[in-house]
Amino acid sequence: MPSHFKIKEYCPLVFRNLRERFGIDDLDYMNSLTKQPDDIDSPGRSGARMFMSQDSRFFIKSLVSEEVEQMHHILKQYHQYIVECHAQTLLPQYMGMYRITVNDMETYLIVMRNVFSPRLAVHRKYDLKGSTVARHASDKEKFLTSLHLMDYSLIVGIHDCERGEQEAAEGDQQGDVDEEYSDTENGLEENNEAEAVKMVPTPPDSPQPNFFSPFTGEIDPDLERYAIKSSESHYQS
């Protein structure tokens, strides 16, 4: 870390209460965020930087100062809504908001729960926009409208089970190759070429650490919180 840096947490008590209501343990939260996150490509036009925690539980997005002000504006109503709906919502689940200052350069970040499963690859993504045609809502349901938030959509991800099984099998084969390299690098090969072979680098496609139990076909509500298991009948209807 740089020699001069500061971290400020905004509204720590409110966000801590939100994490409790969303079932997030503070120690797990800290462990997830204190490991180097993965930089991911931004799918939007805002130019914001986006990251994913190593265990894929949390999504981290950079904000501009105007967006920080907007979050402060909606936070009270957002918290009240989460309490009233007992945290059962399709809205983004906000975990914390921070300002990081490094050598007088400020970066604002917000942490959200990853809506997709942290252990299943998402092979297709769709960003579904709303429509006013034949749509009605009661006054109680107009939470976003009352805050003048109009730009929202529903993100849908699809995990192809057959493709996932194939990728898992290919990963196991790659793991066998990695083990051969590891054995060689540990000096287990006893011949005249051992020293030369020991210089072979680890293959670049080495599997990433697996933080969760492998998927066996059954949805885990703690990991696949919004998942809907599909079947052939859904495609035929």
User: For the packed helices 26-33 and 12-21, what is the interaxial angle rounded to 10 degrees?
Assistant: 110
Report the distance separating Cα 154 and Cα 133, nearest Å: 17
Which positions ≥6 away from 194 have C-beta within 8 Å? 184, 187
Phi-psi category of residue 11: left, alpha or beta, with phi > 0 → left and psi -120 to 50 → alpha: left
Residue 61 among the catalytic residues:
yes
Q: What is the DSSP string of 41-60?
A: ---SSS---EEE-TTS-EEE
Catalytic residue, chosen from 139, 151, 176, 222, is: 151
List 111's β-bridge partners, or say none: 60, 96
Residue 140 among the catalytic residues:
no
Residues carrying an active site annotation? 61, 151
